[in-house]
Amino acid sequence: MTPWPHLTLRHLHIALWGVLPYLALAVLVAGSAWRYRYDRFGFTTRSSQLHESRLLKVGGPLFHYALFLVIGGHVMGLLVPEWLTRRLGVGEEQYHAVALTMGGASGIAAVTGLGLLLYRRLRVPAVRRATSRGDRLTLPLLSLVLLAGLTATASSVSRPYDYRLGVAVWFRSLFTLDPDVTAMAHAPLLYRLHALLALALFALWPFGRLVHAFAAPLAYAARPYVVYRSRGGAPVR
Amino acid sequence: MRVMSQIAMVMNLDKCIGCHTCSVTCKQTWTNRTGTEYAWFNNVETRPGLGYPRGHEDQDKWKGGWRLDARGRPVPRSGGRARRLARLFANPELPLLEDYYEPWTYDYETLIAAPPGDDLPTARPRSLIDGRPTAVTGGPNWDDSLGGGPEHLAGDPVLRRISEKMNERVRLEYEQAFMFHLPRICEHCLNPSCVAVCPSGALYKRIEDGIVLVDQDRCRGWRMCVTGCPYKKVYFNHATGKAEKCTFCYPRVEAGEPTVCSETCVGRLRYLGVLLYDADRVGEAASVPDERDLYEAQLGCFLDPHDPEVARAAEESGIPHDWITAARRSPVRDLITTYRVALPLHPEYRTMPMVWYVPPLSPVVEALTAGGHDGEDPAALFGAIDALRIPLEYLAGLFTAGDTAPVEAALCRLAAMRAHMRRINLGEERDPAIARGVGMDERGLEAMYRLLALAKYEERYVVPTTYVAGAQGAGRARGGCSLDHEGGPGMYGPDGGPEAFHAPPATGGPAVTAGAPQGGSSLRGRVNLLNWNGRGRPGGLFPARRSAGE
């Protein structure tokens, strides 16, 4: 006899796909707000380019730009419902061919870039020493998320799975506060693993170097070149 | 006319003996922390020489400062906004640590802990960056006093540009004849290119005194400023991931005290004072097409505080009255505008630098004396300034974008001052022609002599205090100094103190970890002697006395 005979796999699914996402989101939002409030000094890229530039010049841009493509692909795949693309005249097979090639290519580029950066971090003594405890947790997790996602994309060649009728439905349902747990529970293991690791990454986000993503200097494009500030503190002009 | 005020500096290179006192006291004050071991907000270079970081004046390589675009408008040489944002993930023009030097310490421990044996224990050099044994191959003044010889000198970008015109033989002679020291700090430019390239808007120019600062809370470590500054005077703290730079010792300047480098200069060669300038003219001046006009263009931005019109406009734009009176007594204004003996460093960068230099006359006098002439004889001296074309070319390469006329004029004024004062001291008859020959009068020469040679403390440093009513902790959510972060510039905790600079590298990562609590709580409520004016006993210097009952 199990101690809780009423506890079934269904409860686990509810915990993972109905509760955990909100917990991760709460940690992400509250953690970032807390970090910004109490450790604004810590919002930095923690760049190690001073120590090593040759590998970074290739790996850094490759990883980041590929990541933008990957994020763009996720927005397309998760937020745009299938009926919309169908109405626009894009067939399921067509869509998946594009998603597979584009997603696969940018995924491979991102993994290659990250691989270069990790090699650099491990093999260049000065960079290795500049690695913080947060990095040691964040970077492996980030690698796992990327690898799981890339493998999931690759697996769709042999075992086709229309994630836009499964994972995407669950993802969108999160925002209507009515999580479609079943949609996710029936997704292939790789997709579930990828989602789970990503949730862990989001929960960890505010506490490591990843916060620098929130510091993207978009305002620079519209700013006058020279900034004047008064001694009192507030920016002027 | 939009009047703004700036605290500016002039250094009299004739008096610099290259003792590095300014560098060392500056380092002890500001950069004796983990992450800034390699950074020298103030450094002293030997010219000709590579400088620090090595060859930093080669803007074809480092892309510092501004250039004019096709429409004649200044854009950062490292690229405009779009290019900067596109290069966010790897800055292609960032100097590496090896371009500065790899900081090191020694295994002092082995001197004490080595077991008894036949050999004397030695303290081996050890890198402060990766903790491994290292060979010391560079330092902030590695080619000090022409150490290293011609192969180092060949890398001097200013010399290279001249020697394209000159042949090798002249250059070698020239090396024997000519050497001087060049102390460098941040130029606190009127048109700062480090500020212009900062994507986060963390760097800013202070309205009140023109000091260029990095907001440590806003800096995100994109390190564009390191590239943007043509003088390479913004440094990246590799432990905190933030940019840091010369602060012009603003806590001292606000209190009316000179900067640490000025205060401790044994040669008394630094001058501090207020300059009023017209902010509306700066953009225009920075975009004059010919580089050689930049010196005159910058002079044209400065305003005469004796002009009642200027004084009225200054009051209107909120400049305190004592700043205007300080501007009238400013030694910096005298040397730059009145006597015209001070020149800007590399005006061709178009940043409108605000630390100016009186070019060195001594090497010319020495060269004459070595040649068997009377080095102080005015006729010989004037002739020599003109005849020694190469030093003039070199100085012009540093101070006037290659135009030798202003350098020659400044040197002639200095020579005239020497000749005039020698006649007075030797009891000879005065010769008004000397002063007239350089476009001055005798009173002017004597006043210049007083300022340059006697250099009284009160006349060298005319720094008005900055006070803001109720400024105690203004604009800060939490109290205390905004620089008091762990590893930050004001950090005086156990990890950031002077001991840490010389300590062997600790194992594990740098002290700052994500989410770590900040602030040295052990020092809370205690005094920071950096801000103490030296009068009276500062509160919090000693622990509070316990009450009698305890």
Query: Nearest Cβ partner of A130 from B92, B468, B510?
Result: B510
Confidence band of B156 (pLDDT split at 50, 70, 90): confident
Judging contacts by C-beta atoms under 8 Å, the chain A residues touching residue B482 are none
Among A45, A138, A225, A236, most B C-beta atoms within 10 A, so best to mutate, is A225
In this predicted model, what pLDDT tens digit does every residue of A100-149 receive, in sequence order?
999 999 999 999 999 999 999 999 999 999 999 999 999 999 999 999 99
CB-CB neighbors (< 8 A) of A46 in chain B: 221, 241
Confidence at residue B485, expressed as pLDDT on a 0 to 100 scale: 58
Asked if A156 and A132 touch (Cβ cutoff 8 Å), the reply is: no
Task: Inform me whether the C-beta atom of residue A47 falls under 8 Å from chain B C-beta atoms.
Answer: yes
Contacts of A233 in chain B (CB under 8 A): 474-476
- Residue B506 above 50 pLDDT? no
Distance CA B100, CA B71 (A): 36
Say yes or no: A64 contacts chain B, CB-CB below 8 A: yes
A107 touches chain B (CB under 8 A): no
**Does A53 have pLDDT greater than 80?**
yes
SS3 content of chain A, % helix, strand, coil (to 5): 75, 0, 25
C-alpha distances in angstroms, B193 versus A167, B64, B302, B318, B348?
Answer: 49, 8, 20, 26, 13
Mean pLDDT for A153-157 is: 89
- Report the SS3 class of residue B460: helix
The predicted-structure confidence for B26-35, as pLDDT tens digits, reads as follows 999 999 999 9
How many CB atoms neighbour CB B393 within 10 A?
Answer: 20
Confidence of residue B160 (pLDDT cuts 50, 70, 90): confident
Distance between CA atoms of residues B486 and B139, nearest Å: 27
State CA B286 to chain mean position distance.
20
What six digits make up the tokens of A105?
């290519």
Chain A residues close to B518, C-beta within 8 Å: 38-39, 41
pLDDT band at A5 (very low <50, low <70, confident <90, very high): low
Give the per-residue pLDDT at B468: 55
For residues B265-287, one letter each, b for 16 or more C-beta atoms within 10 angstroms of the residue's C-beta and e for the rest, the string is: bebbbbbbbbbbbbbebbbebbb
Residue positions forming the annotated binding site of A for heme b: 64, 74, 194, 212
Residue B218 Cα, gap to closest chain A Cα (Å) = 7
Q: How is residue B157 annotated by DSSP? A: H
Q: Return the HEC string of B376-418.
A: CCHHHHHHHHHHCHHHHHHHHHHHCCCCHHHHHHHHHHHHHHH
Predicted confidence (pLDDT) per residue in B178-217, tens digit: 788 999 999 999 999 999 999 999 999 999 999 999 999 9
**What pLDDT was estimated at residue A233?**
60
Considering only A74-78, A181-185, B109-113, B378-382, which range has the smallest mean pLDDT?
B378-382
State how far the Cα of B539 lies from the Cα of B312, in Å rounded to an integer: 40
Residues of chain B neighbouring A39 (CB-CB closer than 8 A) = 514-516, 518
All structural domains of chain A, each given as residue ranges with its CATH number in brackets, are 9-213 (1.20.950.20)
Question: Are A132 and B192 inside 8 Å of each other by CB?
Answer: no
**Helix, strand, coil shares, percent, chain B, to 5:** 40, 10, 50
Is residue A198's pLDDT more than 50? Answer: yes
Q: Is the pLDDT of residue B469 over 90?
A: no
Which residue(s) pair with B381 in the sheet?
Answer: none
Q: Determine which of B150-164, B421-435, B487-501 has the lowest per-residue pLDDT on average.
A: B487-501
Q: What is the C-alpha separation between B544 and A60, in angstroms, rounded?
A: 53
Interface of A with B in 153-212 (CB under 8 A): 207-209, 211-212
Set out the domains of chain B in order of their start, with CATH numbers. 267-460 (3.30.70)
Closest chain B C-alpha to A20 CA, distance in angstroms: 23
Give B127's contacts in chain A (Cβ within 8 Å): 126
Query: Which of A53, A208, A229 lies nearest to residue B206, judging by beta carbons?
Result: A229
Instruction: Note the pLDDT of residue B158.
Output: 85
Q: Which helix (H) or strand (E) holds A190?
A: helix A189-204
A46 within 8 A of B241, measured Cβ to Cβ: yes
Residue range B424-449, pLDDT digits in tens:
999 999 999 999 989 999 999 999 99
Q: Which of B33, B227, B238, B485 would you mutate first to test chain A, the one with the most A CBs within 10 A?
A: B238
Q: Give the model's pLDDT for residue B43.
A: 97
Mean pLDDT, chain B, rounded, equals 85
**Structure tokens of A109?**
């580029």
The answer, yes or no, to whether residue B509 has pLDDT greater than 60, is no
With beta carbons less than 8 A apart as the criterion, state whether B13 and B358 touch. yes
Among residues A16, A30, A10, A74, the alpha carbon closest in space to that of A196 is found at A16
* Predicted pLDDT of residue B550: 42
Checking if the pLDDT of B488 tops 70, the result is no
**What does the pLDDT average to over A150-155?**
93
Query: What band does B86 get if pLDDT is binned at 50, 70 and 90?
Result: very high
| Mean pLDDT score, B288-292 | 96
Predicted TM-score (pTM) of the model is 0.86
Q: What is the pLDDT of residue A205?
A: 95
**Token code pair at residue B479:** 């109290």
> Which residues are CB-neighbours of A110 under 8 A, at least 6 positions away?
A62, A63, A66, A67, A69, A70, A146
Q: Is the predicted pLDDT of residue B373 greater than 50, yes or no?
A: yes
Look at residue B264 and tell me whether its pLDDT is greater than 50: yes
pLDDT of residue B150: 72
pLDDT greater at residue B515 or residue B306: B306
Angstroms from A123 CA to nearest CA on chain B: 12
- Residue B378: per-residue pLDDT: 72
CB < 8 Å to B203, chain A: 227
Best B128, B220, B250, B280 member to test A by mutation, with max A CBs in 10 Å, is B220
- Shortest distance between the Cα of B371 and any Cα of chain A, in A, equals 48
pLDDT the model gives residue A91:
84
| The pLDDT of residue B546 | 60
Cβ-contact A200, A23 below 8 angstroms: no
* Partner residue facing B90 (CB), from A50, A61, A128: A61
Mutate to test the interface with A, among B5, B68, B89 (most CBs of A within 10 A): B89
Strands B203-206 and B212-214: antiparallel
pLDDT band at B381 (very low <50, low <70, confident <90, very high): confident
Chain A CB contacts of B471 below 8 Å: 231-232
**CB nearest B220 (choices: A45, A48, A228):** A45
As given in the structure block, the two tokens for residue A75 are 């927005």
Looking at B178-320, list the stretches that DSSP marks H as alpha helix, in order from N- to C-terminal side: 193-197, 224-228, 250-254, 260-263, 279-286, 294-301, 308-316
Query: How far apart (Å, rounded) are the C-alpha atoms in residues B333 and B339?
Result: 9
Residues of A comprising the binding site? Answer: 64, 74, 194, 212
Please give the full DSSP string across A120-189, using - where no structure is assigned.
HHHHSHHHHHT--HHHHHHHHHHHHHHHHHHHHHHHHHHS---GGGTHHHHHHHHHTT---HHHHHTS-H
pLDDT greater than 50 at residue B513: no
pLDDT score at A31: 96
CA atoms within 13 A on the CB side of B173: 11
pLDDT at B518 over 60: no
Q: Is the dihedral of CA B458, B464, B469, B473 positive or negative?
A: negative
Q: Are B468 and A41 an interchain contact pair (Cβ–Cβ within 8 Å)?
A: no
pLDDT tens per residue, range B217-235: 999 999 999 999 999 999 9
pLDDT of residue A237: 44
A4 in contact with B, Cβ within 8 Å: no
User: Quick check: A11 contacting B, CB < 8 Å?
Assistant: no
Q: What is the pLDDT of residue B472?
A: 44
